Amino acid sequence: MNFTEKEKIWSLRYVEDVQSRETVLRLADELNISHVCAKLIYNRGYGDAKAARAFLNTQIDSLHDPYILKDMRPAVERIAKAIAAGESITVYGDYDVDGVTSVSLAYLYFKSQGAKIDYYIPSRNKEGYGVSVAGIDKLHARGTTLMITVDTGITANDEVEYAKSLGIDTVVTDHHECHASLPLAVAVVNPHRPDCNYPFSELAGVGVVFKLVCAFEEYMHPELSGEECASRVCENYVDLVAIGTVADVMPIRDENRYIVSAGIKKISETDRCGLAALIEMASATSSNSQPALSHAHKPKKRRVNTGFIGFTLAPRINAAGRISSAEKAVELLLCEDYNEALVKAQELCEINLCRQIEENRIAEQAYKMIEQTHDFDRHKVIVLDNDSWQQGIIGIVSSRITEKYGLPSILISYEGATRGFASQDDVGKGSGRSIKGLNLVNALTACEELLERYGGHELAAGLSVRRGSVDLFREKINEYAAQHLTDEDTKIRYEADCELEIGEATMSLAQEIEMLEPFGVANSTPTFLVRDLEIDRIISLGAGNHSKIFFGGEAQGISAVCFGVAASKLDYSRGERVDILCQLAINEFRGVKSLQFITQDIRMSENYTSQRIVDKKRYSEILGGADFSATEDIVPTRDEVAGVYKFLRYEIGHGHSVFSDRALKSQIDNCVHSGISYIKLRLILNILDDMKVMSVTELSGELFEFHIYENAQKTSIENSQIFRMLTANCRQ
């Protein structure tokens, strides 16, 4: 079976019934908001005003007491003891954005507290994910006596024991899923611990470090309240916490709403040299302008949101760990000289460009392998392996594959594992992404006897596996998927918050939606279903890579942007009506603000499609001899028949002989007569064919080919049997 485009399922989160309608009306009244905005809040699980206000709260009082986290006190006390005694502390982190920001935060804060501290991030290619014996040996050689793991370490049971044997104590801070047993460390701080009662478990790794730092601040300043201590920490470091939280795709709710909201404000006016330089360089490269490598002043304040963090800053920070060294990204965030930071930021941007090129190369190879070898009937999990794929890139490609095919995927690379020949003992490192319905960590656990190691989250995980076990692993994980993943789970789904009437799409609603920011996982940018929009015209944007739709009728003045979709790919014509799934945004151009839809998906309007079905049926009935009323306006005039003939003759003369009935009707409306209905147009084509002035061949249900008879004798529509039948069957 070859993969074909999967069925797209549209659904609505808000389904109105008596209870939901009453709740929405009450929320709108008590919060003084529109009914549409009340539906958005209701969809996010907040059915009363008190809960809604708590959700909307992005103030520091939404933070929880860090000491509720299990093992927080022994962690703080051990670090305080190490600082007081002048011990050598090493922060051991991961190479992704969450890891980089975690390392930077821990290093900067504890250094400010007088710690003798350094950091260590393993090489993705040489050491792989997590705490390793080789890494610990390096720390031992440095004289480290306390290791603080950040965004890693929760499964490093053996490594923590090894470190202890060398005289190195360990404080583990992590947010990944726990295995059955925890490392025997001085402290294990992880909100996912089964015995941890912390009220919010969905912190990023840097979020857990943030709580550690807040707890330490309270320990060092008992005269201050917890809120005051948290405020002091946020003033200096919340930008780092926000970047790691957004990049690691953590739910933007509870504490994360404050963290990201406060972080965005700090980033937009940052005085952190490395971050300011990265924003400057990223903005310059994205606009194709020549970045300046020397500035007397830092760049002006810029508009920052979660999209800017996730799609502009995070990829550049991440690229260092993927194809170079994550320490380059840490060095940038720690940099205190702006001009030096500009040089480092430019290097990250260049590394990111290399990453993009390599990513596209791997993706094309992977797509080809899937189309040629993957059995879509038997296997619901795509598992691919290759010797030359760069291990730092395969996770991104796995995300693209899962998005494209709607299936979980795992890519495995043996890069660096070969000995000049392929050995069954080669250890491949893999990265996987999943879909709702299949917990990837649980799936890997079911295959753990075949794996060297694994770990991660429900929708993203990493693993190590020997080459000789890959085929069996592929079968085993697909056996698990067959039991836990249904065909419904693998359909491509688009979910809108609610329907939006075109009259409700106002500037005030777009501004009201902004109070729900920051957006992200668990608080996605609101998406609406808008029905029955009449297309006026479609134009190309961005060198033809994007398109813009202008609407007529009631939606006149509102446009819809389709990013990543060329105008030629939009099979719609003027006068046709469409339904769209979209976000409502405010577009500002040269100081003028206007409403704009950001399109997620588009399809022919249900009303339009239903009417076409009715029209096609009625056309068949009339062509078969059924009577009809004159009010149906079906019998064409001579001028209408002549107009269609002249149009087609002109188009055929210019090499256009094949049209869909939809495209033909649209062009007839524009060029000949806008009052010709679908039924009348089809009958005109029958009349022209019947008159032997033109051949009309139906290639499919909607596609027609036309040919002009150049030597046809002059005739009249009255000579057409079909025309005579129509006039005879028309009831006045």
The CATH number assigned to the domain with range 381-490 reads 3.10.310.30
Angle at which helices 678-690 and 721-729 pack, to 10 degrees? 140
Task: Indicate the burial class of 582 (C-beta count within 10 angstroms; 0-12, 13-18, 19 or more).
Answer: buried
Strand 187-189's sheet: what is its strand order?
Answer: 116-120, 88-92, 146-150, 169-173, 187-189
With vertex at residue 652, the alpha carbon angle to CA 648 and CA 656, rounded to the nearest 5 degrees, is: 105
407-464 tens-digit pLDDT:
999 999 986 655 567 788 888 999 999 998 899 999 999 999 999 988 888 889 999 9
* Confidence label for 674 from pLDDT (cuts 50, 70 and 90): low
CB 170 within 8 A of CB 78: no
* Confidence label for 299 from pLDDT (cuts 50, 70 and 90): low
At residue 170, does pLDDT exceed 70? Answer: yes
The span from the CA of 149 to the CA of 531, in Å, is: 52
Strand 703-708's sheet: what is its strand order?
Answer: 658-660, 703-708, 694-698
Q: Which amino acid is at 106?
A: A
Phi-psi region of 151 (alpha: psi -120 to 50; beta: other; left: phi over 0): left
Higher local confidence (pLDDT), 9 or 163: 163
In the DSSP assignment, the letter for residue 487 is T
What average pLDDT score do residues 337-348 get?
Answer: 95
**Lookup result for tokens 């890494």:** 135
The span from the CA of 575 to the CA of 214, in Å, is: 60
CB 193 within 8 A of CB 70: yes
Sign of the C-alpha dihedral, residues 517, 520, 523, 524?
Answer: positive
Domain(s) of CATH 3.90.1640.30: residues in the chain? 62-268
**In whole numbers, what is the pLDDT of the chain averaged over residues?**
91
* Confidence label for 3 from pLDDT (cuts 50, 70 and 90): very low
The span from the CA of 64 to the CA of 655, in Å, is: 70
- Class for domain 608-731, per CATH? mainly alpha
| 3-state SS class at 547 | strand
Question: Beta strand 460-466 with 559-562: parallel, antiparallel or unpaired?
Answer: unpaired
* Confidence label for 2 from pLDDT (cuts 50, 70 and 90): very low
pLDDT recorded at residue 675? 72
138-147 tens-digit pLDDT:
999 999 999 9
| 3-state SS class at 588 | strand
What average pLDDT score do residues 167-177 get?
Answer: 96
CB 502 within 8 A of CB 533: yes
pLDDT recorded at residue 5? 53
What average pLDDT score do residues 210-227 get?
Answer: 97
pLDDT recorded at residue 486? 86
pLDDT recorded at residue 1? 33
Question: Beta strand 577-589 with 528-541: parallel, antiparallel or unpaired?
Answer: antiparallel
The span from the CA of 260 to the CA of 266, in Å, is: 10
Query: What are the structure tokens assigned to 186, written together?
Result: 């001085």
675-700 tens-digit pLDDT:
788 999 999 999 999 999 999 998 87
The span from the CA of 430 to the CA of 391, in Å, is: 8
The C-alpha R_g of the chain, in whole angstroms, comes to: 31
At residue 296, does pLDDT exceed 50? Answer: no
The span from the CA of 513 to the CA of 498, in Å, is: 13
Higher local confidence (pLDDT), 487 or 35: 35
What average pLDDT score do residues 180-195 get?
Answer: 95
Cβ contacts of 368 within 8 Å, gap of 6 or more: none
Domain(s) of CATH 1.10.10.10: residues in the chain? 608-731
pLDDT recorded at residue 298? 53
Helix extents (H) in 374-439? 394-405
CB 474 within 8 A of CB 467: no
CB 634 within 8 A of CB 683: yes
CA-wise closest residue to 121 among 151, 80, 145, 164? 151
**DSSP-assigned states of every residue in 60-106:** GGGPPPGGGSTTHHHHHHHHHHHHHHT-EEEEE--SSHHHHHHHHHH
The span from the CA of 37 to the CA of 155, in Å, is: 43
**Lookup result for tokens 């986290």:** 69
Question: Beta strand 88-92 with 116-120: parallel, antiparallel or unpaired?
Answer: parallel
pLDDT recorded at residue 420? 60
Sign of the C-alpha dihedral, residues 260, 266, 272, 277?
Answer: positive
606-659 tens-digit pLDDT:
888 898 899 999 999 999 999 999 999 999 999 999 999 999 999 999 888 998
The span from the CA of 327 to the CA of 342, in Å, is: 16
Higher local confidence (pLDDT), 70 or 557: 70
HSE, side-chain direction, 13 A CA sphere, residue 690: 18
In the DSSP assignment, the letter for residue 310 is I
CA-wise closest residue to 75 among 177, 196, 241? 196
149-160 tens-digit pLDDT:
999 999 999 999
At residue 217, does pLDDT exceed 90? Answer: yes
At residue 349, does pLDDT exceed 90? Answer: yes
98-132 tens-digit pLDDT:
999 999 999 999 999 999 999 999 987 677 678 99
In the DSSP assignment, the letter for residue 481 is H
378-418 tens-digit pLDDT:
999 999 999 989 888 999 999 999 988 989 999 999 866 55
CB 390 within 8 A of CB 413: yes
CA-wise closest residue to 443 among 479, 412, 477, 407? 477
* Confidence label for 300 from pLDDT (cuts 50, 70 and 90): low
* Confidence label for 267 from pLDDT (cuts 50, 70 and 90): very high
pLDDT recorded at residue 4? 44
Domain(s) of CATH 2.40.50.460: residues in the chain? 8-13+495-604
What average pLDDT score do residues 495-512 get?
Answer: 94
HSE, side-chain direction, 13 A CA sphere, residue 353: 11
The span from the CA of 314 to the CA of 512, in Å, is: 28
The span from the CA of 79 to the CA of 150, in Å, is: 14
The CATH number assigned to the domain with range 8-13+495-604 reads 2.40.50.460
The CATH number assigned to the domain with range 62-268 reads 3.90.1640.30
CB 642 within 8 A of CB 717: no
The span from the CA of 99 to the CA of 86, in Å, is: 25
51-89 tens-digit pLDDT:
999 898 899 999 999 999 999 999 999 999 999 999 999
